[in-house]
Chains A and B, each alone.
Chain A
Amino acid sequence: MISFTPSEEQIVMKETLEKLVQSLIKDNAHDMDEKREIPGEFIEKFRELGTAQSPIPEEHGGYGLPSSPLMNAIILEELAAGDMGYAIASTLPSLFITALLDLGSDAQKAKYLPAFAAGECEGTLAINEPRFRFDAMMPATTAEAKGGSFVINGTKCYVPLAGKAKHILVAARSGNENGLFIVDAGTAGMAVGEKEKNLGLNTLETNTVHFTECKIPEENKLTGADGYDRLLQKTRVAMAALGTGVSRASYEYARNYAKERVQFGEPIASRQAVAFMIAEMAYEVDAMRLMTWKAASSLEAGRDAKREAYLAKLYTGEMAMKITDYGVQVLGGHGYIREHPVERYYRNGRGISCLEGLAAV
C-alpha cells in the first residue's frame, strides 16, 4: 500500500548515517576536498555497517537479506548530504555486488562474492567515456569475441577508485549489444591512469582507464539478459539519490545562513526575494527525493523502472544545478568563497547530469 513514511528500519538507518556524517564528514569535508582525499578510516566507518554485505547470499559469506533499492536510495542521499565523493567511495563495493547479484552466473557469484563479503576487496564500474556526446547506451569501448576470449579496446573515465580496485566491471559494446565484462587488476592491455582532476567530486579518487587489446577470458562476461539496462536503471536512481543529497545539503546550509546573516538591519531571510528561493529549494529537494523514491519503489517491486529511473535522473540532474546555484546565490559573495560548502555543492551537483553509473541502488 502506498506510503510516504519510511519504515522503522529505514528511519534507524537514516539517523545512524546522519550522526555518522555529522561527526565525521560535515566538519572535515572542506579539508577532504582541498586535500582531494578521504581518510581511509572514514570509509571504513561506513563499511562497518555491513550494508554492502547485506544482500550477499549466506553461502557466499553475506547476510542473505533482500536487496532494497529504497534503503539504498536513503543511504546514498544521507551520505551525499555530507559529501558526494564520500557517498560514492564508501558505497562502491555495492555497485559491483549489485551488478554481480543481478547478472552474474552462479560460478561468477561463487568466484567473486566471498572476497566482497569479507570486505577485503574493492570493485568498480567503468561506464563513462571521455568524449563529446557520450551515451551510456552506446559505449564506444568494444569487447570482441575471439577464440574463447574477449578483447577490449577503448578508454573509460571517472572510474571510481580504479587504482585500488581488484576488479573493474567494464561496459562495452559487443557485437550489437551492450555487455559488462570483468577485468582484473593487472591484466595486460589495461592501463590505469593518474588520479583525474575534475570540477568536483574532488574527494573521490577517479581514474581514466585505457584498454588496448586487453584480453580477458570468456567467462568474465556477465551473462544476465537485459542486465545492462537494469543495472543502468539502478545507477540512474542512485545518481538521483546523490543529487537529492547534495541539493539538500545546499538547501539546509542556505536556509540556516539566511536566518543568521543580517543586512539592512534584518536577517536576509526576512526578504521575500531570499525567502522564496529558500521555499523553492525546500519543495524541489522534496520533489527530487520523491522522484527518486518513486523509481526505487518500482525497482523494489521488481518492475521495470526504465522510465521512472530516466526521469528521476533527468529531474534531479536539472534541479541539482538549480538548487545548488540558489545555495551560492543566497550567500552572495560569501558563497563564492571555498570556506562555505555551497561552492563545493555547486561543483559536485554538476556531476549528476554529466555522469552515469557512479553508484547503484
Chain B
Amino acid sequence: MILSCTVNKKPVRLECEPGEALADVLRAAGYKEVKKACGTGNCGLCTILLDEVPVASCSIFAARAEGRAITTIQGLKKEAEELGAYIAAEGAEQCGYCSPGFVLTALAMEREFRAQGMGRFDELAARHYLAGNLCRCSGYQGHMRALKKYWEARNG
C-alpha cells in the first residue's frame, strides 16, 4: 500500500505493507534517526510522536499511521538541541543509540508535565514516565541530572 501521512510536517507517501512495523517503514524511507533495538516494545528506542503522542514505532503497524502526523527527533530539532546540550554537558549519553528515542519521550514528558502544572522537577515521576526508555550504557543517573537542570532552567 501507499501510506500517506506527514513526517516532520512534510506530506509524504511511503511504499509499505500494511502490517509492517512503522519503524521499519520509516527507516527504509531514510529516517535513520528512528532506531530499533528490541522490536518488541520493551526498549523505547524507536519512539516517535504520532499525532504528538509518543508511541513505540516497532509495535505499531504501518497502516495505522495513514493520514496522521509523525514526528521524529529531526522534527524537533530546536528542542532536541536544547535538551541535548544539557545531556552533552552532563556527559550523560554514551553510545547515543538510545538518545533520539529518549530525547523525544523526554520532550513529550515535559509537555505533559507542564500541562499538569508541575512546578518543581519530580524525579520519581520522570523516572516512571521514562521507564520504557532503556539504556544499557549510562546507568540513567546522568540522564536524570541533565533533565533536572534542563527543567529548572526552563521551568524553574
A binds B: no
